[in-house]
Each structure stands twice: as structure tokens, then as C-alpha cells.
Chain A
Amino acid sequence: MTALMQIRDLHLRFPISRSIGDVVARRPGREVKALNGVSLDLIRGETLGVVGESGCGKSTLARCIVRLHTPSDGSIRFEGQDVFDGGYKADRSYNRRVQMMFQDPYSSLNPRMTTGQILAEALSVHNMRPEAQIPGRIAELLDLVRLPQDAQAKLPHEFSGGQRQRIAIARALAVEPEVLIADELVSALDVSVQAQVVNLLLDLQRELDLTILFVAHDLRLVRHVSNRVAVIYLGRIVEIGDSETLFSAPSHPYSQALLSAAPSLNPDDKGAVKRLEGELPSPLNMPSGCPFHVRCQHATDLCKTDTPALQSFEGRGEVACHHVEEINTHA
């Protein structure tokens, strides 16, 4: 297993502009701490699922990876190269090799460009094909994502949500990437359409040997598509490990609460689940120590002062919790 991408101690802080009042009162500028030391490896050919509540930094992480945000600290290495290094940054090949697909199928496609134009643009920006071969390649791409050939001349508004996400996938695949970053790719779709798009993604991954970072909040879906899963809480990974192991036996109290909150299809489970109290604290005002201690029923004084590091836990992957052993022996 070689790590295709190594993310180390990634931090991202967004400063908030100080108001006149703040300046007069000499209050220091505040910042939103979106990512607080995320480290993970993306292994070639795998699907890594990323789950967490909204505002936890899932999408920010995805955007950092495709260089839409520049991290405040930390590094992302792709095949050993620092992707934010000046020289490498000037080289556009990284942009081609790592492609992002966005959540909203209605706003991520230019409404005035036909599908053919959208795909042709992607092909010509990266000089993927000589001019003459572009129409042929577009036809191939439409086949690949199972859209009819007459889709070429149509505008995005003529397609349904599921078809638009196929166009987005075709656009990403046009430049023959190695890594796909799927940020809530199917969240806006109905279950049966969701199933079609997910099936397509799984097929394409097999055919084209793609590495996928699958960001989503639908836990069942993440479990289904991922090899490994990372659970993020307030800009930190609290648990990462093999998907089946993590979903069948989550070790971190937050993963346990998050997974039990997903409504089961079995009516007999009614009322049997453990509810998580409270909401995600504001990233403007991070709790000290373990960020989860304010909502955690196992929290002790240690949790309030010391931030637990991500450590491997007896064959279950890595967990960031001071009390992981007690919690999991009691349960």
C-alpha cells in the first residue's frame, strides 16, 4: 500500500474582518478554525469516505485538496511533491490529475453552455486531445457515463438532477484524472437516482483505476462505497479505519453517537438509540482540549485540558480519544 497523497497536520483558519467596534474596543481579530490538524493518507485505488456533521470541515478539506483553499499550516503531498510549493503550483498537471465534483447539480454547470461545450472546454484547457479528435472523445465520455449522444447539444436545464451529476462526472473524467474528490455528489438526488450514480461511480472506479475521496453525510451510502472511512469533528479526524469495522463497531464516542443517529430501516429499533445532546460548537469558539468533550458523556477533566492524539487502537484503526479503552471494554 503506497500513499498516493499524504496530508499532514493540515490547518486552515479564516480570519473574520474586525468591525469598527472591535477596533475601538481593541478586541483582537477573530478567526474561524475550519481545519485543526488533519492528517491522512489517500491510498491509490481506494475510496476514502469522509463523514461528519455540517460545519465540521469535510468540504473545506476537499477544497484544500484541490487547491481551492490554501492551508494556513501543514502540507499536502501528492506522489511526494508538496502541492502548494511555488514551482509545483505553477504546473497545472496536478489540477488535471486531481478533479473535484460538486454537490449542487443545479449551480455547478454553466447554464449557457451545452453539454458538448462543457466537455470540449475541459478537454481543450488541458490540451487533452488535438482539436480534430475532440468530438470523438466527447462521444466516448457520454458513453462512459451512460448519457445518450443527443445530450451533446442540450443545455443543463434540460436534464434532471441525476443526469446533471453524470455530466459533472463526465467533465471530471474528460481530463483523465487519477483522483476524484466527490463532495456530496449524490446528496441532492432521490434514492433510486442516487443508486444509479453510485453504481456508475463504482463501475468507473474499477474500469479506470480511480482513487476517490467520497465526502457525504449519508452514512449508509458512505459505508457502502468506501474502503476506509474518516470521521471528522470540528476540523479534526476523531476516528479513521476500515469501513466495515468502523461502521459495525465504532470506537470513538462521537462516531458511536453519529452512527446511531442514522435512522435504521427496522421499525423495531424505534426508541432504542442513544441520542446525542447539543449541537456542534462554533468553530469561532473552539472548546479547549478534546473538541468533543462538551457533548461527550465519558468526558473527564483530562479531556477538558488535553487534546487527544490519533492513535491506533487494537486492530480497529486509529482513534483520538483519551478513554477509548475504557469506553469500549464497558460497551
Chain B
Amino acid sequence: MQDQEKLLEVTGLSTTFHKNGQDLPALRDVSFSVGRGEVLGLVGESGSGKSVTLRSIMGLARRYGQVSGQVRWKGSDLVAMPDRVLRHIQGREIAMIFQEPMTSLNPLLTVGLQLEETLRTHTDLSRAARRDRAVEMLDLVGIPSAAQRLKDYPHQFSGGMRQRVMIAIALAANPKLLLADEPTTALDVTIQAQILDLILRLAQDMDMGVVLVTHDLGVVAQTCDAVAVMYAGRIVEQGPVRDVLRAPQHPYTVGLMRSVPENLPPRTQLYSVPGVPPALDALPPGCAFAPRCTACVEACKLDRPPMTVITDQRQVACFNPMTKSQGNAA
């Protein structure tokens, strides 16, 4: 996948919100790329900047904050692009699925209308062709008797089915990149497995890149090709899923993996990273993780560790990374 041209390239993306005259750096110097058909997982705790990353790429964050850096998409920079031009890309080339299938559909419109609305905006299809395409899309995401269900309202669908409808709407215009913000967090494990399978299959069939935001390392292990771990608005470690989960190098990744109860004697104490994440208006001067870190050295308190390349695709931002033997081999 290395030699392949990257679909999306994010370089030095920073987003700052302002509140009561204070700067809140929600995203600092985030860089990653996604290839065609590649699934990238973004993991981290709440408030680490996962969702803001997606919203900054999509151009949704700039209404509320200041976005800088570069988002290369097909030779142009989405950050610098005026809203008017960006609208042709939003929803058409880059689509987004939100976390809550219960609230992201309009409860007053039928599902068919909401699907066709997307098609009317983003394609030149005729009315009849739009309807056919809507049925086709619902069929594709596995909704039984699709033609009849077009007339149904969102409340007539279950949570899993609503998320399928959301995916159908997102994919209706054949996007090249899908940004999925915790698409399965509100769903049961059995339904989660079905939805993730669906996203994976569609990504493969349509040669679409996917950025999947989640806080579940299990989901990452089972669906993603690459993973980026975020902490306090920065990516602290990234690389191929297998390498990162097998031998995490950043102490935060190690801590995150250790707090998942797997392969542990029952009813023993779980590991938990000491302390709490810093508030955005009180970030430490050095590494944001330093106050909670067990491997903290003097340099961590003074300087922000830069992202360093370890092997071809592995990167870690840490002055004192863990060696393989210290990692928790899953």
C-alpha cells in the first residue's frame, strides 16, 4: 500500500476553539494519510480530538473555530477552499456518518425522501432513476423489502436499521472517502458486527477510503488496516494495526491496551492510567501525557516530543518509547 498514491493527506492540521477569550487547542499538528480501500482507525478517550479531526477535514469545524494546516484532496487543499467550492465535495466525494442514528435522521421525513434528497443534490439522475437508486442503496446495506420501506419514517426502524439507512445516505453519491464517527457505539455487539462488516465490504467493493473513529480497541483490531492513537489533540502513535496493537510503543497506547480486561485472571485489579487527561486550557508545556506517564523523563516536561518515524510506517511521538518486551502482547 506504500507505493500507492494517497487519497487523503492531512498535514499539520490544527483546530483552535475560543471560549471566554481563551484559546482551546482541540487539535494540534495532526498528520496522517488514507489510501484507496484503506481503513484507518482513530482511537482515544473522549475529548482527545477524534471527532474534531473528522469535522475539521469535512469543513464543519471552521464555523466554530480556527482551522489551519493542510488537507490535500485530489490536488487541492480543503482547508483553504471557500465554502461554496467545498460544498461540491462534502457529501459527494467525502461522506460522513455520525454517532447517533437516533438523532441524525429527520424524524418528519420518510427515509426514501431523505435518500432522494441526497441524490438530487449530488447527482444528475432523473426522478425515476433516483428512486431506483434509493431502492438499490437500501438493498445494498441489507434492509429487507427495500422498495416498501422507502415510505417508512425513521421511528419505524430499529437502531441498527437506522444506522444502515445513514450509511445508505452517506454512500448514495458514491463517495471516495467515508468519515465514520463512532458509527456503532450506540449499537449492540451483534448489530455492531453486522454494521462493521457492511462498512468493510462496501469499502472494498467501492474502493473507498475509510476513517473510522472509535474508542473500542477491539473494533480497531477487527476492522482497520492502520491505526492512529490520539491524546489531548495530538496523534501520539500510528502505524499498521497489527504492529501497534502487538507492540505498542507510546506509554499511553500501552496503558490504553492494559485497561481492557482481556487475558487477565478474573476479578483482579484492572490497570488504569493514573490521573486524568489535561484540560485544553491548561495543557502542560512539554508532552501532554507527561504528568500521567510512568516512563516520563526530564525532556518530556520541557519539550513536546516530535513525531518520529521508527520503521517504514510506524511513527511515535515520545522521548522514551516502550520496547517490545514491555508491551502487552494481546
Contacts and interface: CB of A to CB of B under 8 A. Distances in A.
A43 interface: no
Interface residues of A, number: 43
B257 interface: yes
B189 A195 contact: no
Interface in B192-225: 192-194, 196-197, 215-219, 221-223
A279 B256 contact: no
A219 B260 contact: no
Residue from A160, A217, A261 having most chain B Cβ neighbours under 10 A: A261
A265 B257 contact: yes
A244 interface: yes
A193 B193 contact: no
A265 B262 contact: yes
Contact of B193 (A227, A243, A276): A276
A258 B221 contact: no
Interface string A266-278: 1111100101110
Contact of A202 (B264, B269, B272): B269
A160 B47 CA distance: 12
A268 B240 CA distance: 13
Contacts of A53: 188-191
A264 B272 contact: no
A199 B260 contact: no
B256 A264 contact: no
A149 interface: no
B191 A264 contact: no
Contacts of A262: 189, 218
B274 to A, nearest CB: 9
Interface in A205-250: 217, 219-221, 223-227, 243-244
Contacts of B194: 275-277
Contact of B270 (A54, A195, A277): A195
Q: Give the interface centre of B255, B257, B269 by most chain A CB atoms within 10 Å.
A: B269
Interface SS of B by simple majority: helix
Nearest to A197: B272
Contact of A191 (B219, B256, B269): B256
Interface string A171-196: 00000000000000000001111111
Given A191-B45, A193-B272, A279-B191, A267 B221 contact: yes
Contacts of B196: 263
Contact of A190 (B46, B241, B257, B330): B46
Given A192-B45, A192-B272, A198-B270, A265 B189 contact: no
Contacts of A265: 217-218, 221, 245, 257, 260, 262, 330
A72 B121 CA distance: 53
B264 to A, nearest CB: 6
Interface residues of B, number: 44
Interface in B247-281: 255-257, 259-262, 264, 266-267, 269-273, 276
B160 interface: yes
Contact of A195 (B46, B219, B259, B330): B259
A257 interface: yes
Contact of A263 (B216, B261, B272): B216
B64 to A, nearest CB: 22
B264 A224 contact: yes
Given A54-B188, A160-B276, A261-B190, A192 B255 contact: yes
B69 to A, nearest CB: 27
Contacts of A223: 261, 266
Contacts of A269: 221-222
Q: Which 9 A-B pairs have the closest CB atoms?
A: A263-B218, A195-B272, A224-B261, A195-B270, A190-B45, A195-B259, A53-B188, A263-B222, A265-B330
Interface of A: 47, 53-54, 160, 190-196, 198-199, 202, 217, 219-221, 223-227, 243-244, 257-258, 261-270, 273, 275-277, 279-280
